[in-house]
Structure 1
Amino acid sequence: MIPNQYKKISILGSGWLGKPLSDELEQLGYVVNCSTASDENYQRLKKLGKNIFQIKVRSGKVEGMVEKFLEADILIVNITPNRDELDQEQFASLRPLIEQSDIQKVLLISSTSVYPNINRRVSEDEKSENKTHYLYRSEQFLKESQYFETTVVRMAGLIGGERHPGRFFAKKGHIKNASTPINLIHRIDCIKIITELIEQDVWGDVFNACSDEHPLKKDFYPLAAKSIGLSPPTVEAEKGDFKIIDNQKLKERLNITLEYPDVMLLLKDGAWI
Structure 2
Amino acid sequence: MKIAIVGCGWVGVRLSAYLKQKGHHLIATTTSPEKVQQLKTVASQVYLFDFTNTEEIPACETLDAVIFSMPAASPNWHAGFKKLELETNHSVFFSSTGIYPQQNGVFTEENKEGLRADLVSAERTVSAKYPQTIVLRLGGIMGDGRSLQNFYRSKSPPDPEKLANHIHFTDIILAVEAVLNSPPAGETYNLVAPVHPTVGEILDLEVHRSDDSADGVNGRIISSQKFIDDFNYTFKHPNPKYF
Q: Alignment partner for residue 166 of structure 1, among 146, 149, 157?
A: 149
Asked if 2 retains the 8 angstrom alpha-carbon contact of 1:67 and 1:97, the reply is no
Question: Could you say what the CA RMSD is over the residues aligned between the two structures, in angstroms?
Answer: 2.7
User: Counterpart of 1:126?
Assistant: 111
SS of equivalent residue, structure 2 residue 81: helix
User: Counterpart of 2:17?
Assistant: 23
Give the TM-score of the pair, scaled to structure 1. 0.77
* Offset at residue 252 of structure 1 (A): 0.5
* Offset at residue 198 of structure 1 (A): 0.8
Percent identical residues: 24
User: Counterpart of 1:62?
Assistant: 54
The alpha-carbon distance between structure 1 residues 194 and 47, as it changes in their structure 2 partners (threshold 3 A), is closer
Distance (whole Å) between structure 2 residues aligned to residue 125 and residue 174 of structure 1 = 35
Asked if 2 retains the 8 angstrom alpha-carbon contact of 1:181 and 1:244, the reply is yes
Is residue 2:226 matched to residue 1:245? no
Which letter does structure 2 place at the counterpart of 1:165?
L
Deviations 1:100-129 (A, max 9, x none): x32333210010000002311110023245
The alpha-carbon distance between structure 1 residues 103 and 140, as it changes in their structure 2 partners (threshold 3 A), is same
User: Counterpart of 2:63?
Assistant: 72
Asked if 2 retains the 8 angstrom alpha-carbon contact of 1:178 and 1:237, the reply is no
Aligned length: 238
Asked if 2 retains the 8 angstrom alpha-carbon contact of 1:117 and 1:242, the reply is no
SS of equivalent residue, structure 1 residue 141: helix
Distance (whole Å) between structure 2 residues aligned to residue 140 and residue 56 of structure 1 = 20
Runs of 5+ consecutive residues of structure 2 not aligned to the other structure: none
The alpha-carbon distance between structure 1 residues 29 and 128, as it changes in their structure 2 partners (threshold 3 A), is farther
Asked if 1 retains the 8 angstrom alpha-carbon contact of 2:4 and 2:27, the reply is yes
Runs of 5+ consecutive residues of structure 1 not aligned to the other structure: 1-6, 224-231, 267-273
Asked if 2 retains the 8 angstrom alpha-carbon contact of 1:112 and 1:245, the reply is yes
The alpha-carbon distance between structure 1 residues 125 and 184, as it changes in their structure 2 partners (threshold 3 A), is same
Is residue 2:123 matched to residue 1:139? yes
Distance (whole Å) between structure 1 residues aligned to residue 96 and residue 231 of structure 2 = 19
User: Counterpart of 2:134?
Assistant: 151
Asked if 2 retains the 8 angstrom alpha-carbon contact of 1:177 and 1:236, the reply is no
User: Counterpart of 1:115?
Assistant: 100
* Offset at residue 34 of structure 1 (A): 1.0
Distance (whole Å) between structure 1 residues aligned to residue 22 and residue 41 of structure 2 = 21
